[in-house]
Amino acid sequence: MSGMYCWEIKNELARYRAYMMRGGAFVPGGIARRTGMLKLAGSLLIIGATTLWGMAAAERLREQYEQMRLLQSLLYALRSEILYARSYLEEAFAKIGESAPEPYRGWLLGMSEIMRQKSGVPFCQIWSGGIQESLRESGLEQEEKDKLSEIGKRLGNADMEAQIRSLDLYLEELKKSMEEKREGMKTRIRLCHCLGVMSGIFLTILLV
């Protein structure tokens, strides 16, 4: 055992003399190996973290599209309730809200309850206020929520035909927005993944 230890010391001294003759800095072999392992682990952690960031950004894009698709189906259901079941808005919101997922369930049922209480609050305020409050965490982009709020200015102060026209106009705009998002989504998702990995490699080069 002591012979092996002496051999390691002699080996380190030989390396030291070789480094000094070349004007280099001497780093013991064990420390060099540990330092290399730490650098490798740090590099993998950085790349892993930025890759996860890219995946999370890509998932947000998918979620935005799914929320738009869900909103579209709910508004088509509202259109059918008004046109075919001849339901008042208060009744239509309650019926659709019962089977809608959150946060849309809370939004629709909340509006129905306020209207049922005959509080005297204008419909446009009930509609837009519910969007900003209940759909805050829905995943919809703010631009889309602003467009949705605009319907409330016409939906509550109109007859059935005007209500249907208002919904049809918004649904047409929503369809175009969904098509544009779907067309660019694959490219943007790939870009998010690539940026995640490449930014990790770039940071590793800078830091390590």
Give domain limits for the chain. 61-183
Instruction: Taking the CA atoms of 113, 78, 149 and 88 in sequence, report the sign of the dihedral they define.
Output: negative
Please say if the pLDDT value at position 132 is more than 80: yes
Please say if the pLDDT value at position 112 is more than 50: yes
Please say if the pLDDT value at position 52 is more than 70: no
Of all residues in the chain, what percent carry a pLDDT higher than 90?
Answer: 32
Contact 183, 194 (CB under 8 A): no
Q: Please report which confidence band the pLDDT of residue 154 belongs to, taking 50, 70 and 90 as the band edges.
A: confident
Please say if the pLDDT value at position 61 is more than 50: yes
Q: What would the mean pLDDT of 85-95 be, rounded to a whole number?
A: 91
Nearest CA to 73 among 111, 103, 113, 100?
100
| Residue of higher predicted confidence among 42 and 73 | 73
Please say if the pLDDT value at position 3 is more than 50: no
Please say if the pLDDT value at position 54 is more than 70: no
pTM higher than the cut 0.85: no
Residue-averaged pLDDT of the chain: 76
Instruction: Taking the CA atoms of 89, 91, 92 and 93 in sequence, report the sign of the dihedral they define.
Output: positive
What is the SS3 assignment for 127-149? HHHHHHHHCCCCCCCHHHHHHHH
What does the block give as tokens for 36?
């290399």
Nearest CA to 33 among 25, 41, 21?
41
Name residue, tokens 């080069």. Answer: 205
Q: What would the mean pLDDT of 116-144 be, rounded to a whole number?
A: 88
Q: What would the mean pLDDT of 168-197 be, rounded to a whole number?
A: 76
What does the block give as tokens for 138?
């829905």
The conformation of residue 141, written as its DSSP 8-state character, comes to -
| Residue of higher predicted confidence among 181 and 27 | 181
Predicted pLDDT at 90: 92
